[in-house]
Amino acid sequence: MPTLNVDLGDRSYPIYIETGLFNQAGFLVSEITTKKAVVVSNETVAPLYAKTIISALTVAQLKVELIELPDGEKYKTLDTFSHIQTRLIELGCSRDTTIVALGGGVIGDMAGFSAACFQRGIPFIQVPTTLLSQVDSSVGGKTGVNHPLGKNMIGAFYQPKAVYIDTNSLSTLSEREFNAGMAEVIKYGIMYDYNLFEWLERNAVTIKARDPDALRHIIYECCKIKAEVVKLDERENGVRALLNLGHTFGHAIEAEKGYGVWLHGEAVAAGMVLAAKLSNMRNWLDMSKFGRIQELISYFQLPITGPAEMDANAYIKHMKRDKKVLDSTMRFILPSDIGKAGVYDDVTSDELTDLLG
């Protein structure tokens, strides 16, 4: 079984990547040292996989409960977080309880934040079921909820005890959800690894067909990069900010349109093209490489422009509330080449107006 390790001293944890992992009875048990487990999932994922997970834990003589939430980014709120906390109390949970986050990025973020806050911290395990969560959000310990005024504005850095990735879960994803996950995959190539970007170009057809070997490869490579970056900068004080390529623009789109109207990956895809275009306007990224970025993103039916009705003022309104803002100065992640990006705080209002209209 391919295994990676996120090296964070006493907070280190493994990432397991395998096809058919959910069918290996008891696969979770080695990482759960408590007497009780609560599986947090949603109404879409729970009917598919919760029974398998609960059975494995029950066989290991753990007491298991299920908290099933509505599905969608619009439910990633303080109200839902409060509901989870209430259910944990009602179920008699304590520090000898482990939360199992079974679902996509929304479930992982909310279950992780709930684990971070309940009785000041209980263990949790990530079992991501979407491509986006498998390659990105399940690794690194970012947890939280959205606020009407900004994406992921309320949360905590709280690392899981393990991440279990079964690539078979991708077979149940809609094409739109799968493509949204590919935005985060492409991101790693643009901001960090030219060889990965080139591999994605060569194997795009195979990936789109969801070939198991191709999926395992991209998940492994993305998780490896994420683990390397998190080891260097767990709390996003430096290099980890590069993982937000496309997110400053993307989060503004999500906040303006309403969470869930554009999928997170769709907004990030448009945001990456905007970041690349800004870099091209600065004469850093040449037109041929800008074109390659657009072409790869377009191949997975992802947007390469933001909403037509959003002008510069609409973007800036939200970007000024972005978590990367320091001393009231907006910061942008811009690619200077494929495989190389940096954080810049010198983007002017004129540049943004020229870029966004």
Known catalytic residues? 120, 142, 184, 226, 236, 240, 244, 247, 251, 264
- Which strand (E) or helix (H) includes residue 111? helix 105-117
Question: Rounded to an integer, what distance in angstroms lies between the CA atom of residue 206 and that of residue 137?
Answer: 24
* DSSP 8-state class, residue 259: B
Instruction: Tell me how far CA of residue 333 lies from CA of 195, 243, 337, in angstroms.
Output: 20, 8, 12
Of 5, 6, 3, nearest in space to 16 by CA: 3
Q: Determine contact, residues 351/278, Cβ cutoff 8 Å.
A: yes
Q: Which two tokens stand for residue 108?
A: 């992982």
Do you know the residue count of the chain? 357
User: DSSP labels for 142-156?
Assistant: EEEEEETTEEEEEEE
Report the amino acid identity of residue 159.
Answer: Q
